[in-house]
Chains A and B, each alone.
Chain A
Amino acid sequence: MQKNNVKMSERALRLKKSYVVLSSMVARNVRNQYRRSVLGILWTVLNPLLNMLVMAFVFSNIFGRDNIEMDYAVYVLSGTIAFTIMRAATNNAMHSLVNSYDLMTKTRTPYYIFPLSHVFSALVNFGFSLIALIIVMLIRLPTGKVVFSWTMLMVLIPWLPCIFMFTTGLSLILSVIYVRFRDIGHIYSVLLTLWNYLTPVFYSLKSLNLDATAMKIMRLNPMLHYVNYFRDVINGVVPDWKTHLVCFGAGAIMLLIGLLIFRLARRSIILYI
């Protein structure tokens, strides 16, 4: 009994340590992004806004706009910030283990903290981006195409936990592979560009006029479903149960694979880093 209590309290202490380290690392990541900048944290809101303006300007008349019923500014911005969670988190998390060599060999910090801190930083940035989205929606309210509805709450549950699982799983996998093979850094940056274009962030899937097979292949991309889900709930539509299932399933599977790989590689990480 006594022994159990000691074990419990030690586990609690370890969990508390992890929590404290994680939260201070996330705070540091977010702050470091905009260190020495005049506007500071305001950039987290400005950045997606300006990006959206560029996208809206470049793609205003080129292609794919006709089939979009949503307001185009809102369409582009919502797609961008949904995709950015995944892109920013995985891109940073991939390097996290290698960059934390000093911490890993000199302090007793659980390894998963390093990739996880970047996922959480991406979520915090996403929170700021939501402010930008709401600002744009307010500005575009007079067009009559923008609605504010209760379905927006579904962004927080269940959408956010699903994409969090997906992103975390992928981040864990990438960070482990990067320890052994630095090539993945170059490969992944190319893949990420391709992935970005294959996901309907600034165009609509309908406007591509794809045949059935191509459409099927396009729909294998989990990010497409995450982006569509996000847009639907922003637009006041509740997605069907299939989309729910895909979003949750992709997240759960990716997380499981990630945890498995991370667990298998955990012991050897320190030897190869």
Chain B
Amino acid sequence: MSKDKEILTNNTVEQSVVQSTASQEQSPYIQTEFGDFDTDEDILLDIKDVEMTYRLPTERIDNIKEYFIKFIKGKLRYQKFEVLKGVTLQARRGEGLALIGRNGAGKSTLLRIIAGIMDPTSGIVRTRGNMVPLLKLGAGFDGNASGEENVYLNGAMMGFSHKEMKKKYDSIVEFAELEKFMKMPIKNYSSGMLSRLAFAIAVDVQPDVLLIDEVLAVGDARFQRKCSERIDQLRDNGTTFIVVSHSMQQIKRLCKQAVYLKDGRIQMYGPTDVVSAQYLKDTMV
């Protein structure tokens, strides 16, 4: 938990330093056309000029005494971190969009903003349809509850009632291959079992938009193949994917379009082949 946060702040520090050197000469958009969100029903996600700035105290203060001492001494300083700036993008029905970039480029923050978990400092985010964020497998699982109860709980987080989940229950269990373990509290599950269950739930609800943050490599080779097949099936049925991943192979298979983020700005936006090639070239240097 706290580790997560440390990484977040470290990234942003590194970023704000680099920020000043980043320059923009030419338009980063290659063969990209934006439609009108209001009239075009096929556009499921529309983001305009999104900016995200964190204002965080330079050191962590979480008790009143320290807060007042610092306040009186006038040492309550805040540092601004620009995590995202001027991000504009769109995703259409059944289209994959990949977010690539180095650690700390703002990919996960962007995904969180798209998911509606965070509000951007400025800019517009508009979405259509049922969006399922898969930012961490098993977020929202309750360790004390059995696998069965967790299926319903997790379904609830995605907006499905007990009745609706009941219809999906059998296929979820079958896909996760956990028939024997559904009555067991999931704190006794292995991590592989846990991810299989989480993944099975997420792909079974047929979302309109699926947000994925580096969670595609699940289980053993055989299960991974099964996942790929299911994802292909979802894509053919018109699910839009927004994927953060460092595996270029995976991205090329799943997404036609890619966004290359660098220091919180869009460095390049266009066909996956072109963008990923540029990204790989940049990272080699």
Contacts and interface: CB of A to CB of B under 8 A. Distances in A.
Interface of A: 3, 6, 13-14, 16-17, 20-21, 23-25, 28, 31-32, 35, 101-109, 180-183, 267, 270-272
B255 to A, nearest CB: 22
A28 B159 contact: no
B79 to A, nearest CB: 12
Contacts of B207: none
Contacts of B118: 270
B77 to A, nearest CB: 15
B157 A109 contact: yes
Given A105-B4, A271-B55, 15 more contacts: A20-B155, A24-B152, A32-B142, A101-B1, A103-B139, A105-B117, A106-B117, A106-B140, A107-B133, A107-B139, A107-B157, A181-B67, A182-B63, A267-B119, A270-B118
A107 to B, nearest CB: 5
Interface in B134-156: 135-136, 139-140, 142, 144-145, 149, 152-153, 155-156
A106 B62 contact: no
Contact of A16 (B55, B115, B142, B161): B161
A141 B145 CA distance: 42
Contacts of B55: 271
Interface residues of B, number: 39
B117 A181 contact: no
A107 B157 CA distance: 8
Identify the interface centre among B128, B149, B159: most chain A CB within 10 Å of its CB: B159
19 contacts: A14-B159, A20-B156, A21-B156, A24-B162, A32-B144, A32-B145, A103-B139, A106-B117, A107-B135, A108-B115, A108-B116, A108-B117, A108-B133, A182-B62, A182-B63, A183-B64, A270-B118, A271-B56, A272-B62
Contacts of B139: 102-103, 106-107
A32 B131 CA distance: 30
B64 A181 contact: yes
A106 B1 contact: no
Interface in B240-280: none
Interface string B159-184: 11110000000000000000000000
Contacts of A6: 128
B142 A102 contact: no
A181 B64 CA distance: 6
B237 interface: no
A19 B9 CA distance: 34
A203 B140 CA distance: 44
Among all A-B residue pairs, the 4 with the closest Cβ atoms: A106-B139, A17-B159, A20-B156, A24-B156
Interface of B: 1, 4, 38, 54-56, 62-65, 67, 112, 115-119, 128, 130-131, 133, 135-136, 139-140, 142, 144-145, 149, 152-153, 155-162
A13 B159 contact: yes
Contacts of A105: 4, 112, 117, 135
Contacts of B142: 28, 32
A105 B5 CA distance: 11
A270 to B, nearest CB: 6
A104 B4 CA distance: 13
Contacts of B56: 271
Contacts of A270: 117-118
A3 B38 contact: yes
A103 B145 CA distance: 16
Identify the interface centre among A24, A31, A272: most chain B CB within 10 Å of its CB: A24
A108 B4 CA distance: 18
Nearest to B63: A183
Given A181-B62, A183-B64, A107 B159 contact: no
Nearest to A178: B62
B197 to A, nearest CB: 16
Contacts of B161: 16, 20
Identify the interface centre among A3, A28, A32, A267: most chain B CB within 10 Å of its CB: A28
Given A106-B117, A181-B62, A20 B159 contact: yes
Nearest to B130: A13
Contacts of A108: 115-117, 131, 133
Contacts of B67: 181
B1 A102 contact: yes
Contacts of B160: 20
Nearest to A268: B55
Contacts of A3: 38
